[in-house]
Structure 1
Amino acid sequence: MKYIFFVLCWWLAGTLSAQQLKGRVLEAGKDGNVGLPGANVYWLGIPGGVATDVDGNFAIEKRPNGRLIISFVGYASDTLEIGEKDHYIEVVLKAGHQLDEAKVFKRGQTTIMNTKSPVIEQVITGEELCKAACCNLGESFTTNASVDVSYADAVTGAKQIQLLGLNGKYVQMMTENMPNFRGVSVLYGLNYVPGPWMSAISVSKGVGSVTNGYEAIAGQISVDYKKPQGSEKFYVNLYGSDEEMFEFNMNGSIHLNDKWSTALLVHGDWMEKEHSMHHNGFLDMPKKAQYNLMNRWAYKTDAWFVQFGGKFLDENRLGGQKGFREEMRHQIGEGNLYGISINTRRYEGFLKVGYLMPQYENTSMALLVNYTDHDQESYYGGYEYDARQRSLFMNYIYQSIFGNNPNQKFSAGASFNYDNYDEIFGDYKRTENGLVKNTPVNPQREERVGGVFFQYTGTFWTKLTLMAGLRYDYHNLAGGFVTPRFHIAYMPDEMTTLKFSGGKGRRYAAVLAENAYLLASGRSVNVAGQLLSGRPGALKNLDMEEAWNFGVLLNRKFLLFDRLLNINLDYYRTDFSHQVVADNETRPGMINFYNLDGDSYSNCYQVEIRYELIPRFDIMGAYRYNDARITYSAPEGLRRVRTPLQSRYKGLINLSYYTNMKKWQFDFTTQFNGPGRLPGGNQQFESFQLMNAQVTKFFRKWSIYAGCENIGDFTQKHPIIAADAPWSVDFDASRIWGPIHGRKFYVGLRFGFDRD
C-alpha cells in the first residue's frame, strides 16, 4: 500500500497545470491528411517545446498573443499567430520542401509513448533506430529500456527477447499486425528483419488487443516495413565492422500512377572470418551469409486500400570448433571436430485489403492474410534437427460506431490460423565402439484454430477511455477456450495519463523448435517422460500454456525550465496456470520438458525518465527490477527458484546530442545489468556494464556513421562448459548470461533520394 500511496501523492501533486493550447499536426498527401508523429511545436523565442504523439496530437502551455512554430525535418515549417480565444488548432504541413539554412532545426521525440490509445504502447521511430547500427530487428532495442535481447547460446548466434522478465516466446511477434516469427523461426527471426527496412516498431506490454489473436502473454511487438507510397525513391545502407562482417541494404519505390505504387527491398550480410577470443577452440559466433528480398505493392482509392507482396530469405550459419567444415558433419565422436550448422530457406506472402464504407460513417472492414513456408536443416554436433513449418493466418475485422456517436466504437471479426510442423530429430548413443546413430524421431503436428472476437472502445467525458474485448477460439488439439482482455486509460489533464490493463493469453508450445539452442550440449532430450532416442512417432502433447497478465502505468509530464520532463512508472504481474517447463538443471545429462506443477510468475517494475537537458541534448534514464520464479519438478520434490540466467535488474542511460542544423549527431548508451542465478544451484553470475557509442555526420542526401559496441570489452568468462570435451555429457554451450564477444568497431554509410 505504501507504494500506491506514494504514486497517488506524486500524481496529485503534479495535476495543477497551466492553461494549455491543444491541437493536431497533419501531413498533406494525395490520399488525404493523416496525423504526423514527432513534429516539433514551440513558441517563437522561447526555449523548449513539445512533440506530437503517434496520432499527431499535442498540448503546449498557452501563451496568448504569441507566435507558434510547427516544424518537422523535410516539411515546410508553419508559423501561427495565437490569440487569447484560441484553444484548439489544426495544422497541415506539406512535405518536400527544404528548410531554409537560416532556420534552426528542432528534433521531436524519437520514442513516442502513445497516450491516446488505452493500450500501453511505445512507438520506436526510424530516427531512434539510427542511434545505433541497427543491422536487424534483434539490434533495434539497444536504447530501449523495456526490451532485452541476448544470445541464447555460445555457438549458433541465436538471439532471444526478454520482456517483463519472460522469454521471447511469450511475446507475440508481428509484422504490420499479422503474427509472424513463431515456432521454428522464434530463435532466428530477429535476424530476418533488416534494420533499414523498418519504418517503426510498436512495443506494447502485457496483453494486447483481442483482434490480433490470443497468443500475447508478455506483450506484442509489431514491425512496420517501409511502404511503397511513403518510402524513399532510392536508399542504400552500407555497413562494415572490424570483425569483417559486411552488410548491404537497398530499397527503392516507384509511383506508377495516382493509385498504384511498388517497392523493392534488398538485403545481404556476410561474415566469413573465424573469431575465437576465448581461446577455447570454439568460434565466438558462426560464419554466416544471408540474402533477403522483398517486393510489395500498394493500391489506394478513396474507399479501397490494398497491399500485397512477397519475401524470400536464404541464410546459412556454420560454427563450432575452429577449422570445422560442412563436409565434416558426419564425423562425430572423440577425435573429430564439433560443429553446428543451420541452413534456412523461408518464403512469405501477404495480402491486406481495407475498405472504407462511404454509405456508413466511421465504418470500415479489413482482411489480413499471411502465409509462410519455413524450411530449416540443422545439426548440433551429433544431434540432427530438421524442421519445416507452413503457416497460414487469416483475419477479418469489421469496425464501426454505435449510432452516430464516434466516441463509442466496436470491432468484430473472425480469424483462422493453420500450422503444420514436420520435424526430424536424430541423436546418438554411446557404445563400446563410440557414438552410434539412433533411429530418428519424426514428430508431426497440425494445428487448426478458428476464432471469433468482439471489442468495444468507448470514451467518456473526454478523459476516460475503456477498451474491453472477448474472443472464442477452438483449437483442434486443445479444444475451445475464451480469452478476455481489458484496457483503461484516464487522462485528468493533458500532462497526466493513468492506464490499467489485464487479461489472459494462451499459446501452444513448439517444444523442439523453440528450444533448439539447448541441443548445443551433450544432454539427452526428454519430452513428457518420453526419451527422444530411437522412438519414431509423434511426441506426447503437453498442455496449452495459459497465463493472466495485469499491468498499470502512470505517465506524467512536467514543464521544467521551459522544457518537458517525461516520467513513466509501470508495474506488471504475470501468473501462469499452465506452462511448459524447459528444465535443463534438475536432472544431470538431460533436458526435460514437462507440464508445470506449482507456481510460475513474474513481477516487473520499471521507471523511465526523458528530458532535454539543454537545447538538442536529450537524456533518457531507466531502471527495471525483475522478480521471475518457476517451479521445477526435481527428483527430491517440487522446487521453486528464480528463473536462471536472468539479471535481477537493469539500468539504462542514453545520451543523444545533435548540433545546430543537425550536421553532427552523437549518441552514447550505457547498460547496467545486475546479477542473476546460474542453473543447477544458488550460484550467482556477476553484474556487468555495457557501453555503446556512435557518431553520425549528415550531408544533404547522405550520411556516414561510425561507432563502437561494448566499449569496455566485457565478455562472459568460459561461456562453454567442457569446451575441451565437446562429445561428453558435460559439454554445454547454452548457459549464457552475458556478452560472448568483445569490443566491436564499425562504420557505415546511408544515402537516399526522397520524393519531391
Structure 2
Amino acid sequence: MKYVFTGIAIMLGLPVFGGTNDSLQADTMKLHHISDVTITARRAGTSRMSGAVNSLKINREELFKAACCNLGESFTTNPSVDVNYSDATTGAKQIKLLGLSGTYVQMMTENMPNFRGAALPYSLDYIPGTWINSIQVSKGLSSVRNGYEGITGQIDVEYLKPDADEGLTLNMYGNTLSRQEFNADANIHVNKKVSTELLVHQQKNFGHHDDNHDGFLDNPNVKQWNIQNRWKVKSDNNIFHAGIGIIKEEREGGQINHSMDLGRIYNIDMTNNRYEGYLKNAFILDKSHGTNIALMGNVSMHQSDALYGDKNYTVNQKNAFAQIMFETNFTPSHNLSVGLSLNHDYLSQRLTNVGFNAQNEKETTPGVYAQYTYSLSTKLVAMAGIRADHSSMFGTFITPRFHLRFAPNDVVSFRLSAGKGYRTVHALAENNYLLASGRQLVIGDLGQESAWNYSASSSFNIPLLGKNLKLNAEYYYTRFGNQAVIDYDSNPTQIRIENLSGKSYSNTFQIDASYPLFTGLELTAAYRINDVKTTYNNTLMEKLLTSKYKGLLTASYKTPLGIWQFDATLQLNGGGRMPKPYQLSNGNMSWEERFHPYEQLSAQVTRWFRHFSVYIGGENLTGFRQKQTIIDAENPWSKTFDPTMVWGPSHGAVGYLGIRVNIGRL
C-alpha cells in the first residue's frame, strides 16, 4: 500500500504548486468584477436514451469516477452489467447481461460489429478507457439495423473523435499489483475539413503475486501495445471516417517457477496479434428530411497462439463486415430505414494433445432488413423491424423485432419490446480458456443458437423536495430455442459443450433509483434478481456460477468549484450454484455445492487542475477474495485440476494512483 500513501502525500501537496493557476480559482476571482450571474450544472455521467430501445449512455464523466483502465473496468458503477473473470490463469473476462454470459451481448464499435470469435475472451482489455468517448448499453434486443445477434443486449463504444478540440492528453496509471499503464491521444485539424488522431496504449504487469500461496499467479502478467490512427473528412453533404489499428499482446500465467523444486512447471503462455481497419461514408441527400445513404465496413485478422500446460491451440480468424443503409423521414413522424449487410468469418484452427481435431470454420452471411419508426411528438415511439439473413452453414432465417415507448407526460414513461436473435457458435475459439482445465474438453456438433426476448420497463421522474428522483423498474425474459450449453455436471472428468436438450431461460428483474441529495452529491441505488436456469443432463438446474442477485450503491460528490471529486461504490453479489463437486486425490471435495454472497467496495478521490488531474483510489477495499480459485493446484497435470471455477475476485484490496494531463492545442 506504499503507493497509496505516497499518492495521498502528492495530492495534498498539489494545491500548493497549483496556486492561482487553477482555472477554477481564477474564474472565481473574476466573478467579483462582473455583475452577471454564472450558473454551472454538472453533466450526468449516465443518461437514459429517449428512443424506443431501452438504452443507457455512459459518458466520460461516469468513466472518470473510477480508474477505468479498459472497457471491462468501465462498468464498475453500472448496475446492469457484470464483469467477471472466466478463469484464474489467463485473465479472460466475461460480461454478463440479464444473467447470461457475454457471448449473447453484441460487441460493437461505432455501430459496427467487432471483437468476434477468437477475440471475444479478451476483448474487454482491447479498448483502453481513456480512448472512450461514450458507451451505449442496450438491454434486451436492439435494432435490426445492427444485425441478428445481441440476444441479451448490445454494447456500442464510441471512441474519441478526430475533429474534437485539438490537443494532446496523457494518462499514467499504476497499482499495487505491479500493473502500469501509459495512454495518449492526440488530434490535429489538418484543415477545416480534414482531421486525424493517434491513440496509443501501453500496459505491463510485471509482478508475481500469489496471495493465496497455491503456487500459481493470482493474475497473469500481461504486456500489451495498442495503437490506432483515425481520420475524419467532412463537407456539406458528405462525412467520411476511416482508421487502422494494431494490438500486440503477451500473457503469461501458471505456476511460479520458484514454487516448484521438482517436476514440470505448468505454464500458461499466450500471444495475441490483432490487425483491423474500418471506414464509414455517409452521403446526405436531403437535410430537411434526414435522407442519406451510408456505407460502412470493417476488416480484422486476429491471431492467437496459446499454450496451456502441454496443450497448444492456435487460431487465425479473419472477419469482414460491410453494410449499406438508406434512411429517410417521410414526415417528422414517419421514418424508414432499409439496408443490405454481409458478414464473413473464417477461422483456421489447430489443437494438439487433446484427443480431437480442431476444425476450420467458415461462414458467409448476407442479409437484408427494413425498419419503420413512428413518432408522435415525444409521447409515443413505435419501432418495428424485420430482417432476413442466409448463412452458408445454417440456411435462411428471419429476425423480427418490435419496440414501443409511451410517455404520457414528463413524469412517467413505459417501454415494451419483443423479438428474436440468433448466433453462430465458435465454441473452441470463444471458450479456449477451458483448455487450462485438466478435464477432457468435449465439443458436440453445435447448431445455431436462437432465443426470444421480451421486456417491459417503466421510468419515473418524480419531483421530491425541490429535486428530481429518477426511478426505473424493468423485467426481461429470455427463452432459448437452441443453445450451446457448457456442462460441468454430467461427468466429473469432462467439460462438455453440447446443444440444448430441454429448457433454458432467464428471468431478470431490476429496480434502480438516483437522487441528488444536495448540490454536488448524487446517490444511486440498484437491486437486481436473476432467475437463470438451463437443462443439464436432462435436469433443469440453476445456471452455473451465476449470482442470484446483485445490489449496488454509488455516491459521487464534486465540490462547488469542481476542484475535488469523491466517488465510492459498494456492490453486494449474491451466491449461486457450483457444479456437482467431486473427490480430489487428497480425499477432500473439490468445492461446496454453492458459493456464498460477498461484497466489494471501491473508492476514488480526484483533484482537478486547469490542465491536469490526479486521482487516487482503491478497489475491493473490503479485502474479500475467493480462497480457492484453482482446484487441486498441487496436481496441475491431473484430471481433477481446474482453474475455471471462478466466481469472485482472486486478489484482495488494490490501491492505485494516476494522473491525466491535457497539454492542449498541438
Q: Is TM more than 0.5 here?
A: yes
1:240 counterpart letter in structure 2: G
Aligned residue number for residue 602 of structure 2: 692
Report whether the alignment pairs 1:127 with 2:61: yes
RMSD: 1.9
Tell me how far apart the structure 1 counterparts of residues 288 and 350 of structure 2 sit (CA, whole Å): 53
State the alpha-carbon separation in 2 of the partners of residues 231 and 426 from structure 1. 52
Residues in 2 aligned to 1:99 and 1:475: alpha-carbon distance in whole angstroms:
63
CA distance in 1, matches of 2:600, 2:441: 35
Instruction: Say yes or no: does 1:668 pair with 2:596.
Output: no
Alignment correspondent of 1:677:
577
Counting only pairs closer than 5 Å after superposition, residues 103-114 of structure 1 correspond to structure 2 as 103=38, 105-114=40-49
Relative distance call for 1:710 and 1:673 in structure 2 (3 A) is same
Contact 2:443–2:496 (8 Å) recurs in 1 = yes
Equivalent residue number for residue 712 of structure 1: 622
Offset of residue 460 of structure 1: 2.8
Q: Judge conservation of contact 1:105–1:661 (CA < 8 Å) in 2.
A: no
Question: Contact 1:232–1:753 (CA<8 Å) still a contact in 2?
Answer: no
Residue 18 of structure 1 corresponds to: none
Shift of 1:586: 1.4
Q: Which amino acid aligns with 1:295?
A: N
TM-superposed CA distance for 1:494, in Å, is: 1.7
**Structure 1 residue 495, shift from structure 2 partner:** 2.1
Structure 2: distance between partners of 1:182 and 1:654: 32
1:387 paired with 2:330, answer no
Q: Secondary structure at the match of 2:393?
A: coil
Change (3 A) 1:99 1:355: farther
Match of 2:588 in 1: none
Name the CA distance, whole Å, in 2 between partners of 1:727 and 1:101.
Answer: 71
- Using the alignment, how far apart are the partners of 2:293 and 2:567 within structure 1? 43
1:340 is matched with 268
Q: For residues 461 and 152 of structure 1, what CA distance do their matches in structure 2 show?
A: 45
Q: Mark the CA change 1:359 to 1:153 in structure 2 (over 3 Å): closer, same or farther.
A: closer
The 8 Å contact of residues 266 and 309 in structure 2, kept in 1 or not, is answered as yes
Does the residue aligned with 1:721 lie in a helix, a strand or coil?
A: coil
Shift of 1:101: 5.3
**Offset of residue 100 of structure 1:** 7.5
Alignment map for 1:50-65 (pairs within 5 Å): none
1:675 Cα offset (Å) = 0.8
Q: Which amino acid aligns with 1:350?
A: Y
Question: Aligned equivalents of 2:601 and 2:212: distance in 1?
Answer: 20
Q: Distance in 2 between matches of 1:365 and 1:123?
A: 26
In 2, are the aligned partners of 1:338 and 1:726 still within 8 Å (CA)? yes
Q: 1:744 aligns with which of 654, 657, 660?
A: 654
2:248 aligned to 305, 308, 314, which one? 314
Contact 2:46 2:56 survives alignment (8 Å): yes
2:240 alignment partner AA: V
Distance 1:680 1:501, change over 3 A: same
The residue that corresponds to 1:417 in the other structure is: 343
Greater helix share, structure number: 2
Aligned 8 A contact 2:141 2:150 in 1: yes
Shift in Å at residue 585 of structure 1?
A: 2.4
Whether 2:333 is the aligned partner of 1:407: answer yes
Deviations 1:400-442 (A, max 9, x none): 123xx121001000000000011111125xxxxxxxxx6x724
Q: Which residue of 2 aligns with 1:506?
A: 422
Q: Say which SS state the counterpart of residue 491 (structure 2) adopts.
A: coil
- In 1: Cα distance, 2:287 partner to 2:148 partner: 33
2:552 is matched with 652
Q: In the TM superposition, what are the counterparts of 1:164-563 in structure 2 within 5 Å?
A: 164-230=98-164, 232-323=166-257, 335-358=263-286, 361-402=289-330, 405-427=331-353, 441-460=357-376, 462-528=378-444, 540=445, 542-563=446-467
Identity %: 42
- Which amino acid is the alignment partner of residue 652 of structure 2? G
Shift, 1:162, TM fit: 0.2
Letter of the 1:106 partner, please give it.
A
Q: Per-residue deviation at 1:324?
A: 8.0
Counterparts in 2 of 1:99 and 1:473: CA distance versus 1, 3 Å: farther
SS of the residue corresponding to residue 186 of structure 1 reads helix
Q: TM-score, normalised by structure 2?
A: 0.92
2:234 is matched by which residue type in structure 1? K
Contact 2:463–2:469, Cα closer than 8 Å, also in 1: yes
Is it true that 1:721 corresponds to 2:631 in the alignment? yes
Q: In the alignment, which of 485, 492, 509 is matched to residue 581 of structure 1?
A: 485
Indicate conservation of the 8 Å contact 1:104/1:660, yes or no. no
Contact map agreement 1:551 1:572 (CA 8 A) in 2: yes
> Within 1, Cα distance between the matches of 2:421 and 2:256?
44
8 Å CA contact retained: 2:232, 2:241: yes
Partner of residue 5, structure 2: none
Higher relative contact order (CA 8 A, sep 6+): 2
Larger Rg: 1
Distance (whole Å) between structure 1 residues aligned to residue 303 and residue 41 of structure 2: 47
| Counterparts of 1:230 and 1:627, CA distance in 2 | 44
Partners of 2:387 and 2:399 within 8 A in 1? yes
1:185 Cα deviation after fit: 0.8
When the two structures are superposed, what TM-score results if normalisation uses the length of structure 1? Answer: 0.81
CA deviation profile, 1:237-282 (whole Å, cap 9, x unmatched): 0001112211000010000111000000000010111110010000
Q: What CA distance in whole angstroms lies between the structure 2 residues aligned with 1:304 and 1:257? A: 16
Distance in 1, Cα, partners of 2:287 & 2:404:
31
Deviation at 1:359, TM superposition (A): 8.1
The alpha-carbon distance between structure 1 residues 696 and 441, as it changes in their structure 2 partners (threshold 3 A), is same
- CA deviation digits over 1:48-76, x for unaligned, max 9? xxxxxxxxxxxxxxxxxxxxxxxxxx99x
Tell me the secondary structure at the aligned position of residue 610 of structure 2. Answer: coil
**Inter-CA distance 359–199: structure 2 relative to 1 (3 Å threshold):** closer
1:82-119 CA-to-partner distances (Å, cap 9, x unmatched) read xxxxxxxxxxxxxxx978854464312110001x2101
Q: Aligned AA for 1:724?
A: E
| SS of match in other structure, 2:303 | strand
Query: Which residue in 2 is equivalent to 1:39?
Result: none
Q: Is the 8 A contact 1:111 1:128 kept in 2?
A: yes
Is the contact between residue 210 and residue 485 of structure 1 (CA under 8 Å) also seen in structure 2? yes
Q: CA 1:113–1:360 in structure 2 vs 1: closer, same or farther (change >3 Å)?
A: closer
Return the offset for 1:527: 1.6
Deviations 1:110-166 (A, max 9, x none): 10001x210100000011000000000010000000000010001111100000010
Structure 1 residue 362: Cα displacement: 2.1
Q: Secondary structure at the match of 1:184?
A: helix
